[in-house]
Structure 1
């Protein structure tokens, strides 16, 4: 039976949001440890389930996939010492020059995501070239009914106003070429994550996004 995410994980994050101090955290570190251990167990089962359709995931270490809860406050006006969410990257994240998967757990704001986030200039250019050259293949992925069910569109954050240099202004794929990230996001309710079938249900959603990841990674190979 796959692991389930405990309500205590959400309870801990809610308490941390109200008490984001080192003193409170140190006094209640057992709540953090219990939540982290439960989440790692959940991730291990999720990664195993995902490896059924993406063999690369078999190499993912759940402990390493989970981001640190400690915030880097050096360059931030917000000096709160801790994140009030748990994030896990299965091959996706800022600076990763490869498409992958991500899970974000935060009371009332949870989501899963996939694709490639903030790629460097050279990688971005390669992806745009692939989209321009193989537009039919790219659109077939985005318009697939199973894909559309969870991901109606690519994320529009930081989108350019004009078509980037090196591409025709009237390129049929101009709207996609303006994107700086190639990611999809699906919001999750807290209860969905605590469902006893959550591992299988989340893996099934990730599976629908795999063709997009494959397309993006082919552009970089």
Structure 2
């Protein structure tokens, strides 16, 4: 069975070879003139298909992470790069991406889910990649009394099987203001609370794409839920819940 026949029997939302041809060419012709000339391909083969993938993921998230549901157009990130503070002035990303933050924490550094799709790989991630100082402090305070629970989460079989070990960009020394000899000392040094899973780029061309992403989101959900407990304390979410305006 050739590639065209194989793709013809796939029914789940996924990407086309034409989408990947577009992204490969974009790597070499990353300019506005080329993009505008081929924008119809972007709209039909990349943007429209990405929105379908997000909708399918949302259907599954409703069952285990309903607080992270997000309309597909809001979940999908723009392909346009922010070049204001970058030496790289190419105007377009060469991948597609989407994120699902916790409702109420979208702009306040909550933990969530992330998907990136490109020719060179599909990246599935979850957690809090770069928490701000107040958020990181709240996580560390919480770990003082809940470090055993975090270690149990990180050691869970499904998470170990489906995601890479936590890298965390740890500090060399313990953070100021926290006990250096605490049982959670190694966890307190962590600066990035995100876990990643890398899949081959060709995964995006199959009807197993959504299933593969959701399987990893499901395994990572307990970590996201754990992190959002302390993260909610440094955002309006907890105050709104206390006032009865939002369910915690």
Q: Same fold (TM over 0.5)?
A: yes
Partner of 1:129: 141
The yes-or-no answer on 1:74 pairing with 2:93 is no
For the 8 Å contact 1:49–1:199, the answer to whether it is kept is no
2-structure distance, mates of 1:51, 1:57:
8
Conserved? CA contact 1:102–1:114, under 8 Å: yes
> Which runs of no fewer than 5 residues in structure 1 stay unpaired?
none
CA–CA distance in structure 1, aligned partners of residues 168 and 136 of structure 2: 15
- 8 Å CA contact 1:40, 1:62 repeated in 2: yes
Q: What's the offset of the Cα at 1:96?
A: 4.3
Structural mapping, 1:90-109, within 5 Å: 90-91=100-101, 96-109=108-121
Q: How many residue pairs end up in the alignment?
A: 219
Kept after mapping to 1: 8 A contact 2:122/2:203: no
Q: Whole-Å Cα distance in 2 between the matches of residues 41 and 100 of structure 1?
A: 20
Instruction: Give the C-alpha shift of residue 94 in structure 1.
Output: 9.6
Residues 139-195 of structure 1: per-residue CA shift (max 9 Å, x gap): 1100111111122422333x3111001211122222221111100000011222222
**Aligned equivalent of 1:170, options 155, 162, 181:** 181
Secondary structure at the counterpart of residue 186 of structure 1: strand
Residue 222 of structure 2 corresponds to which residue in structure 1?
211
Q: CA–CA distance in 1 between the matches of 2:167 and 2:227?
A: 15
Q: Alignment RMSD, CA only?
A: 1.9
SS in 1 for 2:198: strand
Point out where structure 2 has 5 or more consecutive residues left out of the alignment. 1-10, 233-248
User: Secondary structure of 1:101's match?
Assistant: strand
Q: Is the 8 A contact 2:124 2:197 kept in 1?
A: yes
Name the counterpart of 2:93: 83
Whether 1:182 and 2:196 are equivalent positions in the alignment is no
Q: Kindly indicate whether the alpha-carbon contact (under 8 Å) linking 2:119 and 2:202 is maintained by their aligned counterparts in 1.
A: no
**Deviation per residue, 1:42-80 (Å, 9 max, x gap):** 11111211221111233x011111111111212211111
Structure 1 window deviating more from structure 2 (146-155 vs 110-119): it is 146-155
Q: Distance in 2 between matches of 1:186 and 1:14?
A: 22
Q: Return 43-52 or 190-199, whichever deviates more.
A: 190-199
Q: TM-score normalized by structure 2?
A: 0.82
